[in-house]
Amino acid sequence: MKNENKACIDVKLHKKHRCKCEESPDFRSAYAAEKLMHSITESIGNHCLSRKISMNKLAKLSGLNQKETSMLENGDINITIETLLKIACGLGKKLIITVR
At the topology level, CATH places domain 18-90 in 434 Repressor (Amino-terminal Domain) (1.10.260)
What distance in Å separates the CA atoms of residue 31 and residue 22, rounded to the nearest whole number?
9
Query: Using one digit for the tens of pLDDT, what is the confidence trace for 20-71?
Result: 556 678 887 888 888 888 888 888 989 999 999 999 999 999 999 989 888 8
Residues near 89 by Cβ (< 8 Å), separated by ≥ 6? 62, 95
Question: What confidence score (pLDDT) does residue 16 get?
Answer: 52
